Structure 1
């Protein structure tokens, strides 16, 4: 399980790799949303950009997906195994370089994707 807090501090996103879910919690701990999707298997790392975009690693699906800030629906599949992403475990957006950094467990390496 991993977690990330939204920029306003009122939502917490928690990955649950045992059940292929991302939970969105309110500050008081109540569950606001539960996200599941076939494109997200074994969710590990989660990151919220300064703009509030939620990025989640699918370790077993070899994907990085973007979820809406409510934690209810998939907005995009950002990377897949075709892009060289294998067993991603961490993701981070760097606004200074406009890139997404992906740490992968299987290869002990980091991939960098420029965002347009």
Structure 2
């Protein structure tokens, strides 16, 4: 944990994973990741990324090579997400959209 840096590139629609020394580990792209913005690493090492233009929140593996899941889409109320955060204390995912926040809580 804490040994990688994740950087989104909105123009190239990618998530780049870097080692602490700046070495590129991987570059990830997916149709569900259009114009990526916010990225968050959970305490458990899950990587969550906002697809601003694709209206999605996706989860990728810690190496930044594979999509593990699409967590939320426009059908769930996600429109132009800019930020994402997992709250361990409330076991919920908070998504910043425009001037609001959507909270997804596992049931």
Q: Which TM-score bucket, shorter chain as reference? A: over 0.9
Measured against aligned partners, the alpha-carbon deviations of 1:14-72 in whole angstroms (never above 9, x if no partner) come to 00011000000001101000000011101000000000000000000000000000100
Correspondence 1:62 to 2:58: no
**Cα distance in 2 for residues equivalent to 1:76 and 1:26:** 23
Detail structure 1 runs of 4+ shifted over 2 Å in the superposition. none
Do structure 1's residue 23 and structure 2's residue 23 form an aligned pair? no
1:74 aligns with 2:72: no
String of CA shifts for 1:50-105, please: whole Å, max 9, x gaps.
00000000000000000000100100000000000000000000011100000012
Alpha-carbon deviation of 1:9? 1.8
Gaps of 5+ in 2: none
Q: Which residue of the partner structure matches residue 113 of structure 1?
A: 104
For normalisation by structure 2, the TM-score amounts to 0.98
Unaligned residue ranges in structure 1 (runs of 5+): 1-7
Question: C-alpha separation between the residues in 1 aligned to 2:104 and 2:58?
Answer: 13
Quote the Cα distance in structure 2 between the aligned partners of 1:13 and 1:54: 9
Which SS does the other structure have where 2:68 is aligned? strand
Counting matched residue pairs gives 107
CA root-mean-square deviation = 0.7
